[in-house]
Amino acid sequence: MRKPLIAGNWKMNKTITESISLVKELIDFVKGYEETEIVVCPPFTSLWVTKELVGDTNILLGAQNMYYKDEGAYTGEISASMLQNIGCDYVILGHSERREYFHETSQEVAWKVQQALSFSIKPIICVGEKLEEREAGSARDVVKEEVEAIFEVLKPQDATKVVFAYEPIWAIGTGKSATSSDANDMIKYIRTLLKDKYGEKVSDQIRILYGGSVKPENIKELMSQSDIDGALVGGASLKALSFSRLVKFKE
């Protein structure tokens, strides 16, 4: 019922030149494949050229961040209307690297979600705990706070337009992925929070991804879990072959 979604988060990688070759290769590898929704999230500088290349293919475009204000004196920021104008379908919001290095709060992430939705851009909202928090037994509390901050701005009629991504911070870029059953447990918990707020009919339609060291070797196992609807992928999205193998996890 929920179409699997595989999103590549390139982070601060790939010049325009490098983006062009990666996207061209990827288009070839996944041509005509419709079993999975495919999203690539290049850095801002490569969004336009990527859109030009993917056009109306089966590859959708996402940005990695945006600001919540409409426009004005916010040096270095990018607005929702700028992303909409390029043709972005998605935007990653609240990634743990943004929360940690750029001090984004759950409140700011919520404002960004609201702003993205008002420009018809679907947010991929990242949540997840640090290793210390998991070890201290507070992983669920951390995730609950991050998810519930979004409830303040997310109207019931918009709830199915968002995607959540559970990314335990200790599993990002470390090669140490969460076990598929740990990931599924937390994702089920997030779905319970969504169900309590928006009801079962809505929560059953909201996609929740897993992120953190997803690779061709572990994707099948992760996707075999009941509640994992896809993956947000960093490292393995930087090569067309590995990313296409994730996209085609069913094969």
User: Which residue of the chain is nearest ligand PGA when measured via CB?
Assistant: 234
**Reduced to 3 DSSP states, what percent helix, strand and coil does the chain have, rounded to the nearest 5?**
45, 15, 40
Under 8 Å between Cβ of 210 and 231:
yes
Q: Which residues are 92's β-sheet partners?
A: 124
- CA 19 from centre of chain: 19
145 is catalytic: no
- Footprint on residues 187-226 left by ligand PGA (CB under 6 A): 211-214
Could you say which of 184, 193, 235, 244 contacts ligand PGA (CB under 6 A)?
235
Q: Give the residue with the Cβ less far from ligand PGA, 30 or 236.
A: 236
Could you say which of 5, 63, 116, 232 contacts ligand PGA (CB under 6 A)?
232
From the list 97, 104, 133, 167, the catalytic residue is: 167
- d(C-alpha 150, C-alpha 145), whole Å: 9
Q: What is the dihedral of CA 228, 84, 88, 68, to 10 degrees?
A: -50
Q: By CB under 6 A, is residue 62 in contact with ligand PGA?
A: no
95 is catalytic: yes
Could you say which of 4, 5, 9, 43 contacts ligand PGA (CB under 6 A)?
9
Q: What is the dihedral of CA 12, 126, 100, 39, to 10 degrees?
A: 0
Q: Which residues are 9's β-sheet partners?
A: 41
- d(C-alpha 163, C-alpha 235), whole Å: 20
Q: Give the residue with the Cβ less far from ligand PGA, 108 or 167.
A: 167
- Listed ranges 33-41, 46-54, 79-87, 228-236: which one lies at the site for ligand PGA (CB under 6 A): 228-236
DSSP secondary structure string for all residues of 146-204? HHHHHHTT--GGGGGG-EEEE--GGGSSSS-PPPHHHHHHHHHHHHHHHHHHH-HHHHT
Q: By CB under 6 A, is residue 228 in contact with ligand PGA?
A: no
Q: Give the residue with the Cβ less far from ligand PGA, 123 or 235.
A: 235
From the list 37, 95, 133, 146, the catalytic residue is: 95
Residue holding tokens 């598929």?
A: 180
Could you say which of 70, 102, 173, 250 contacts ligand PGA (CB under 6 A)?
173
Q: By CB under 6 A, is residue 42 in contact with ligand PGA?
A: no
Q: Give the residue with the Cβ less far from ligand PGA, 83 or 233.
A: 233
Interaction site with ligand PGA (CB under 6 A): 9, 167, 172-173, 211-214, 232-236
Active site positions, annotated: 95, 167
